[in-house]
């Protein structure tokens, strides 16, 4: 297995994937942009300058300064027009990728069926998300957290899991839940306020949605502790805001100390509700927080489903082999509202949203598949029709489920294996009240 620290960023149609490889790369020629975000080896810079026609350093006041720029601070205009873009990292230079092209050395070797499945679920997740937003505006479901813009971030990660592995979501992983076998009608039930929506089918190793920020990281650490030695992995999702919670640090510390088979996926969408990433931490990346717990940390382009899959695949492989946990930061963007109770226009600019809209993960991945000859425009049209039908049928099933009578006593059934005496007494009291109410209705 190849050992490296990797970064991949998608900017306005450019494919910028970078990985520091011990073997280095071919000489870089032409006009080169060197983005400095960590200390680097000046000797390697001199080697670069000896082969390139021109080298422009971005983010460095001088050649000895390091940690001058965050990954997410690099704008498309900063790197447009160069023949190659290189990121510095650690003690050497990150391998370059020519602008607008996939680096074939880093491209994961995925079968066409899996590539098309990823595209299908990205589209399904987006369209289902849009339909739920309509249902919420109609008052048919309550508030929820849209996933728009983060489809690649979660699907690329969860696709690396086997069915027997565990997924621990927060509240913005609808596409990943569907990939893992949760029915869309049950997701609708959750946001319509039905407890039954949290039901996990037998044989599906998912935990229910977790609303408190960061609390599920502890659940994942404990779950992973319990499956040690079973060749299973627990993957936990959370946002950048969760890294400011104590639960996050306790979970990573525990996971590393006991070397549990866990993969922690931080979807850095730049905003913790209305709090920007810059007000969360002074760390140049969120991935580097893994250093404090002596575990691998990797920052990857969350809008590049292939980059996410590659990073997650290696992390899962390490965990399954008993080599402990990994922290993955997927650098992505929340293109919609935090939840449907939020108005992002109050705290972020339209220009910022437009810039990230040009990096739409579905648009990027679809272009990749079209270029590879795995997809045609006609295929896209057919897929859109199929997805529309699937969502409509799921909505009809959801409507039928909501017409069924609900037993209030069911609230006592799944909290404990054996109901404590005080809850058993409450259940019995409620049962008597319900029976009395029925009797009154019958005779009234």
Choose, from 334, 364, 366, 368, the residue flagged as catalytic: 334
Which tokens belong to 193?
């306020």
Residue 287 confidence class, pLDDT cut points 50, 70, 90 = very high
Average pLDDT (240-266) is 97
| pLDDT at position 65 over 60 | no
Say which residues have a Cβ less than 8 Å from residue 55's Cβ, sequence separation at least 6. Answer: 32, 34, 45, 48, 49
Radius of gyration of the chain (CA): 24
> What separation in angstroms does the CA of 343 have from each of 192, 339, 359?
21, 9, 22
**Phi and psi at residue 55, in whole multiples of 5°?**
-125, 120
Please give the model's pTM, rounded to 2 decimal places. Answer: 0.76
CA–CA gap between residue 382 and residue 247 (Å, rounded) = 44
Q: Which fold has domain 112-394?
A: Rossmann fold (3.40.50)
Average pLDDT (65-72) is 45
Tokens 């050395």 -> residue: 105
Of 272 and 106, which is predicted with more confidence?
Answer: 272
Give the DSSP per-residue string, 269-320. Answer: -SEETTEEGGGT-S-S-SGGGGGGGTS-EEEEETT-HHHHHHHHHHHHHHHH
| pLDDT at position 109 over 70 | yes
Choose, from 126, 338, 364, 366, the residue flagged as catalytic: 338
Say which residues have a Cβ less than 8 Å from residue 280's Cβ, sequence separation at least 6. Answer: 240, 241, 243, 244, 272
Domain spans in the chain, listed from the N-terminal domain onward: 6-98, 112-394, 408-435
- CB count within 10 Å of CB 300 equals 30
The per-residue pLDDT of the chain, averaged, comes to 83
In the residue annotation, 345 being an active-site residue is answered as no
In the residue annotation, 334 being an active-site residue is answered as yes
Residue 25 confidence class, pLDDT cut points 50, 70, 90 = very low
Most confident range (mean pLDDT) of 12-21, 227-236, 268-277, 415-424 is 227-236
Of 34 and 431, which is predicted with more confidence?
Answer: 431
Name the 3-class secondary structure at 74. coil
Average pLDDT (40-48) is 60
Nearest to residue 54, comparing CAs of 19, 17, 87, 83? 83
Residue 406 confidence class, pLDDT cut points 50, 70, 90 = confident
Say which residues have a Cβ less than 8 Å from residue 378's Cβ, sequence separation at least 6. Answer: none
In the residue annotation, 219 being an active-site residue is answered as no
Are the C-beta atoms of 203 and 250 separated by less than 8 Å?
no
Are the C-beta atoms of 6 and 310 separated by less than 8 Å?
yes
pLDDT computed for residue 41 by the predictor: 56
Secondary structure element (H or E) that encloses residue 154, with its range: helix 151-158
| pLDDT at position 4 over 50 | no
Q: In terms of C-beta density within 10 A (0-12 exposed, 13-18 middle, 19 or more buried), how is residue 23 classed?
A: exposed
Of 162 and 96, which is predicted with more confidence?
Answer: 162
| pLDDT at position 339 over 60 | yes
Of 239 and 14, which is predicted with more confidence?
Answer: 239
Average pLDDT (15-20) is 33
Of 89 and 322, which is predicted with more confidence?
Answer: 322
Average pLDDT (54-83) is 57
CA–CA gap between residue 149 and residue 386 (Å, rounded) = 21
* Length of the chain counted residue by residue: 444
| pLDDT at position 76 over 70 | no
Instruction: Summarize pLDDT for 172-212 with one digit per residue, the tens.
Output: 999 999 999 999 999 999 999 988 888 888 889 999 999 99
């Amino acid at each position: 297995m190849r050992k490296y620290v990797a970064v991949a960023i998608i900017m306005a149609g450019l494919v910028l994937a970078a990985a520091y490889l011990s073997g280095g790369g071919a000489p870089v020629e032409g006009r080169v942009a060197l983005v400095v975000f960590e200390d680097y080896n000046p000797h390697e810079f001199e080697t670069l300058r000896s082969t390139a026609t021109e080298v422009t350093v971005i983010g460095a006041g001088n050649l000895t300064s390091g940690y001058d720029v965050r990954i997410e601070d690099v704008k498309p205009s900063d790197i447009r027009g160069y023949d190659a873009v290189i990121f510095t990292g650690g003690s050497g230079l990150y391998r370059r990728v020519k602008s607008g092209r996939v680096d074939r050395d880093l491209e994961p070797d995925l079968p066409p069926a899996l590539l098309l499945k990823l595209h299908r679920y990205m589209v399904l997740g987006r369209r289902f998300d849009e339909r739920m937003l309509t249902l919420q505006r109609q008052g048919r479901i309550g508030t929820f957290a849209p996933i728009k813009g983060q489809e690649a971030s979660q699907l690329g990660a969860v696709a690396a899991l086997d069915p027997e592995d565990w997924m621990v979501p927060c509240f913005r992983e609808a596409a990943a839940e569907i990939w893992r076998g949760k029915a869309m009608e049950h997701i609708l039930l959750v946001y319509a306020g039905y407890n039954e929506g949290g039901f996990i089918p037998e044989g599906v190793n998912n935990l229910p949605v977790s609303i408190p920020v960061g609390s599920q990281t502890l659940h994942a650490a404990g779950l992973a502790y319990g499956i040690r030695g079973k060749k299973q992995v627990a993957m936990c999702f959370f946002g950048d805001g969760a890294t400011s919670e104590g639960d996050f640090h306790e979970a990573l510390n525990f996971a590393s100390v006991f070397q549990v088979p866990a993969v922690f996926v931080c979807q850095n969408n730049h905003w913790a509700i209305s709090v920007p990433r810059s007000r969360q931490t002074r760390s140049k990346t969120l991935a580097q927080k893994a250093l404090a717990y002596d575990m691998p940390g990797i920052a990857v382009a969350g809008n590049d489903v292939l980059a996410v899959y590659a990073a997650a695949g290696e992390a899962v492989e390490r965990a399954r082999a008993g080599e402990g946990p990994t922290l993955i930061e997927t650098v992505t963007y929340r293109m919609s509202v935090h939840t449907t109770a939020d108005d992002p226009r109050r705290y972020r600019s339209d220009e910022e949203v437009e810039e990230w809209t040009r990096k739409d993960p579905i648009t990027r991945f679809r272009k990749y598949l079209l270029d590879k000859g795995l997809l045609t425009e006609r295929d896209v049209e057919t897929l859109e029709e199929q997805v529309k039908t699937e969502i409509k049928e799921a909505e009809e099933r959801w409507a039928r489920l909501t017409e069924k009578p609900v037993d209030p006593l069911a609230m006592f059934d799944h909290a404990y294996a054996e109901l404590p005496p005080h809850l058993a007494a409450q259940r019995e009291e409620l049962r008597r009240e319900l029976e009395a109410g029925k009797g009154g209705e019958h005779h009234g």
